[in-house]
Amino acid sequence: MKLNIAYLYQEHLNLYGDTGNVEILKFRADARNISANVLNIGVNDKINSSFFKKINILFMGGGPDAGQKDIYKDLLKNKAPYIKDFIENDGVSLFICGSYQLLGNYYKAEDASVLEGARILDLYTEQPGKGVQRCIGNTVAKLNDTILNDPVFQNNNYIGDLIVGFENHGGRTFLSERSIPFAQVLKGYGNNGDDFFEGIHYHNSIGTYFHGPILAKNPHLADYLISKSLGLDKLEKLDDYLSTSAHNTALRLRQ
Amino acid sequence: MKLFILRNVTILIVKIIKLLKKGNGYTLPGYIILKLFPTILKDKTFSFKKGIVVVSGTNGKTTTTKLISDIFKANGLRVTHNSSGSNLLRGIATALVMDLDFWGRVKTDVAVLEVDEFALSQVLDFIDPRVLVLLNLSRDQLDRYGETDTILSRWIHSLEILSTKTTLILDSTQPILSVLKSIFKGPTESFNSFSPQGLSVKESFNIKNVNAALKVCSLYKISLSKCLETINKFEYAYGRGEELTYEGNTFKLYLAKNPASFNNNLEMLLEGAFKFDSLLFILNDGLPDGRDVSWIYDIDTQLLERMIVDNNITTSNIYISGTRCFDMATRLFYAGVPVPRSNINISIKDTLSGVSKSPSKTVVLPNYSAMLDFRSITLGRNIL
């Protein structure tokens, strides 16, 4: 069996060790004799719908402002329509921080200038303006019921209902009425520090502010993504003593 | 008179704070000094005959300032140096005032200051250096400093208003720094990574530090051969290749606090600088470290693997400690280095008793507060 991971804009969007998520997906697939293959897609690489037919998981990380500017045009013009198709046909994907913001409806910067988003995820992000603190710190959140009640998640879950991570973002994200959050914040700010929502869950795609990288200390989430993307009910259990211990340590960290 | 009182009151306050064990005592006096006399560090009565050398950048500050200071001293200059590692504005102000003589007069010829890269702009508002060395800029403690672009734009702003009497020294091999050259209107010099003849230092990242120091010393008219005399018997600052013995075992410390310094150390160990049989990683998330440990996923895992294989280190000889030891263990696990559970322990002390079963030579890769913890345990006292 094969797992094809499309990794978009690694060169421009990797600031907080998010690249570790791809390494972890590959490691956990390989450990089950599922041969994982990472396809790096940069600014000049062309993709189309036939490319996405063979992709199991799509990943994009977060990046510095400069990095996001570099990919912005290419993303909206050349890639967004195919990404939208992939997501709406239930393709599994994970978007962290900056890429999560870019796939929304718009991004309003500190100087009130508005940057059009890819309009794939129904949300918008606004910078609160100068002098307002960034959302920085350790995070804990409870996964949403759709995921918790999904047998594929339950079969692969040996840790519990929570996820842990670290957030570091200036923008505040607001979901539309129709959108479902990825998780409910128990510690930290989440999307905006107000509504206790963290991230978005749309079809089989997840957008989130969690770094860490998120899959490092949440092996249940990693296996959920792999299982889901391959249509498997359950993966062989791995020895996750270390990542579980790191998960439990993180539950006790102050914000 | 003003400086006489300031100097002695400062020393008194620092002593009291230290006695009360409320930290190293350098922050509060500096705050008061600058609040009362904001221009004091630019004052005529507070000037060093040979000026002030400021060194900043993400990695190599401590080593480079120590190199410069050692060379200066060996060549007859009296030096004020913030060697205790207080490299933020207030700590620097305190260190400068404390190093005045009893009567409040400057007693040294030159000051060599290591300055935190984020605090640099602020420090340059208060002092005019004769030489400013910018070593490098890479990712470090994002939760505290923000993105490297943020720091770079702060540097740019400072260089726009910096006195053109200052000489700027830059690393010519770092593309990210090239923009600074065009911004600063005063004289600019650069250094590179070529090893000067007659140098016994081998690690490539240290050659850059050496070259930066040589550049500074050449501005002070100290000959290359004189400089090399000092450099070739140089003793690294604490935690930078420092060797400690504890219960019959030898430990060599290499500070690994961000992806760049971590990779530098891996490269050096891969080059086979010396033999060792055990490895100890210590990862903390204390205040000076930044609380975000995700940077460990940006270290070069291929380099890590090659270093471990080339030095014949088995996973049973790898130990992990510190408040975030399980984060590090998970990281190594995903890099194909599964460290046994019994070698992982939050407590450094308990970990050491495991390492100490047989006489060994252990390389320790700690981040900042982990390095301090390790030293205070093995030396039995607090150093800073």
pLDDT at B162: 93
Amino acid B212 reads A
Q: How far is CA B298 from each of CA A8, B212, B258, rounded to the nearest angstrom?
A: 17, 27, 9
Annotated catalytic residue, options A12, A169, A201, A211:
A211
Q: Is the pLDDT of residue B205 over 80?
A: no
Interface-testing mutation among A10, A12, A16, A215, with chain B (most B C-beta atoms within 10 A): A16
Residues A237/A28, Cβ–Cβ less than 8 Å? no
Q: Which residues of B131-142 are buried (b: 16+ CB within 10 A; e: fewer)?
A: bbbbbbbbbbbb
What pLDDT does B358 receive?
Answer: 66
Closest residue by Cα to residue B264 from B247, B248, B240, B280: B240
CB A246 within 8 A of CB B330: yes
Inter-chain residue contact A16 with B292, CB threshold 8 Å: yes
- Rg of chain A over CA atoms, in angstroms? 17
Residues A44, A173, B297, B366, CA torsion sign: positive
Total residues found in chain A within this entry? 255
Beta bridge partners of A138: A166
Is the CA virtual torsion B270, B199, B84, B165 positive or negative?
A: negative
B149 to A66: CB separation less than 8 angstroms, yes or no: yes
Tell me the chain A residues in contact with residue B298 when contact means C-beta distances shorter than 8 Å: 14, 17, 19
Residues in chain A whose Cβ is within 8 Å of chain B? 14-20, 23-24, 27, 64-66, 134, 136-138, 166, 168, 211-213, 216-217, 241-243, 245-246, 249, 253
pLDDT single digits (tens) B235-277: 777 777 888 989 888 999 999 999 989 998 998 899 887 789 9
Q: For this structure, is A135 an active site residue?
A: no
Pick from A65, A211, A249: CB nearest B324:
A249
User: What is the predicted pLDDT for the residue at A68?
Assistant: 80
Higher pLDDT, B30 or B109: B109
Cross-chain residue pair A65–B149, CB shorter than 8 Å:
yes
| Fold topology of B240-379 | Protein-Tyrosine Phosphatase; Chain A (3.90.190)
Contact between chains at B330 and A64 (C-beta distance less than 8 A): no
Q: pLDDT-derived band of residue B138, with 50, 70 and 90 as boundaries?
A: confident
Tens of pLDDT along B171-187? 988 888 888 988 999 99
- Partner residue opposite B334 with nearest CB, options A15, A23, A249: A23
User: Distance between CA atoms of A76 and A79, rounded to whole angstroms?
Assistant: 6
Which string of b and e fits B363-381 if b means at least 16 CB within 10 Å?
bbbbbbbbbbbbbebbeee
CA atoms within 13 A on the CB side of B122: 15
What's the CATH code, domain B2-231? Answer: 3.40.1190.10
Looking at the complex, report in whole angstroms how far the Cα of residue A112 sits from the nearest Cα belonging to chain B.
19
Cβ-based neighbour number of residue B50 at 10 Å? 17
pLDDT value at residue B186: 94
Q: What is the pLDDT of residue B194?
A: 86
Is residue B281 pLDDT above 70, yes or no?
yes
- Reported ipTM: 0.96
Q: How many domains does chain A have?
A: 1
User: Which neighbouring-strand residues pair with B54?
Assistant: B113, B132
Average pLDDT rounded to a whole number, residues B205-232: 92
Residue B304's SS3 state is helix
Cβ contact B334–A19 (<8 Å): no
Query: Structural domain of residue A166, as residue ranges?
Result: 2-251
Inter-chain CB proximity A211 and B326 less than 8 Å: no
Enumerate the domain spans of chain B. 2-231, 240-379
> At B30, is the pLDDT very low, low, confident or very high (cuts 50, 70, 90)?
confident
Q: Considering only residues B18 and B119, tell me which one the structure prediction assigns the higher pLDDT.
A: B119
Q: Enumerate the residues of chain A whose CB falls inside 8 A of the CB of residue B324.
A: 246, 249
Give the closest-approach CA distance of A235 to chain B in angstroms. 18
Beta-bridged to residue A39, according to DSSP, are A6
pTM, entire model = 0.85
Q: Could you report the per-residue pLDDT of B295-336, keeping only the tens digit for each?
A: 999 999 999 999 999 999 999 999 999 999 999 999 999 999
Nearest alpha carbon to residue B300 among A19, A162, A108, A62:
A19
In 3D space, the residue among B158, B164, B166, B212 whose CA is nearest the CA of residue B190 turns out to be: B212
Q: Which residue has the higher pLDDT, B379 or B214?
A: B214
Indicate the average pLDDT of chain B: 89
Nearest CA among A100, A239, A109 for reference residue A175 = A100
The CATH number for A9's domain is 3.40.50.880
DSSP secondary structure string for all residues of B11-78: HHHHHHHHHTTSS-S-HHHHHHHHHH-TTGGG-GGG--TT-EEEEESSSSHHHHHHHHHHHHHHTT--
- For chain A, residues with pLDDT lower than 70 are none
